[in-house]
Amino acid sequence: MRTTVELPVDLLRRAKSYAAARGESLKQLFARAIATEIGRNHRDAMAKPNVRLPLFGDPNKPPVDISNDDIARILAQEDAESARRFNRRRGK
C-alpha cells in the first residue's frame, strides 16, 4: 500500500543512511519501525497487573518437596510411557 508521509529533512537523511547501513530499503526500515512501535504500544495497553499465584498446593498445608531431579525423572517416565503407547499403536 502506498502512502505519503512528510518527515523532517534531517530525519529522512538519517533514516536513509541507517537503512543503507543495515542493507535494507527505506520501506523495510519504516515497516519494521512502525510494526515495532505498534506492537510495543499494543503490549503496553494489554498489560495487566501481575498476580501472585501458587504453582500448586494449599498455602495452609506444608509445601511440596520436589527437586529438579524429581521433575526430570517424572518427565522421562512420561516420555517413555508415551513412546511405548506410540509403538504399540504402530504394531512394534
**Region for 91 from its dihedrals, namely left if φ exceeds 0, alpha if ψ lies in -120 to 50, beta otherwise:** left
Asked if residue 56 belongs to a domain, the reply is no
10-24 per-residue burial string, b: 16 or more CB within 10 A, e: under 16: eeeeeeeeebeeeee
Question: What are 11-51's pLDDT values in tens digits?
Answer: 999 999 999 999 999 999 999 999 888 876 655 656 666 77
pTM of the model: 0.44
Domain count, the chain: 1
Domain that holds residue 36: 9-46
Asked if residue 81 belongs to a domain, the reply is no
Average of per-residue pLDDT across 57-77: 86
Inter-residue long-range contacts of 1-9, CB under 8 Å, 24+ positions, other chains counted: 5/30
